Amino acid sequence: MNIPEDGYLLRIFVGESDKHGHHPLYEAIVLKAREAGLAGATVSRGVMGFGKRSVLHTAKILRLSEDLPMIIEIADGLEKIEQFLPTLNEMIGDGLVTMERVRIIHYQG
């Protein structure tokens, strides 16, 4: 799969407990991105964060959160990212989605 050197990075911020049907939202997003033929996706769990409602979520031992921030990053060319946005919009209720231009240095499978 070839992706252009001038790529785009889609970054999606959701909560660990967010669902899409009976599955974790972050998992459903990655599976949909794969189904759409996007170049790649990675999910990271944040150790601390807050969102629109300013509720603090943290992984500290004394205050275990069951809703840590989850960050899904998807990289590909602009056209494929833009084609995926309507699907993503249908899946996400609460959350934040950002997109930025990136320079793809190396991509081989």
* Chain segment 46-105, per-residue pLDDT in tens: 888 777 777 777 766 555 556 789 999 999 999 999 999 999 999 998 889 999 999 988
CATH, domain range 6-103:
3.30.70.120
- Distance CA(3)–CA(39), nearest Å, equals 7
pLDDT at 83: 97
- Distance CA(52)–CA(92), nearest Å, equals 14
> How far does the chain reach from its first CA to its final CA, in angstroms?
8
pLDDT at 104: 87
DSSP-derived 3-state class of residue 72 = strand
User: Do residues 29 and 12 make contact, with C-beta atoms less than 8 angstroms apart?
Assistant: yes
Query: From the CB of residue 47, how many other CB atoms can be counted at a distance below 10 Å?
Result: 12
pLDDT at 22: 95
- Distance CA(32)–CA(16), nearest Å, equals 17
pLDDT at 107: 77
Domain boundaries, the chain: 6-103
For 5, 30, 58, 66, the CA distances from 37, given in Å and listed in that order, are 18, 11, 34, 31
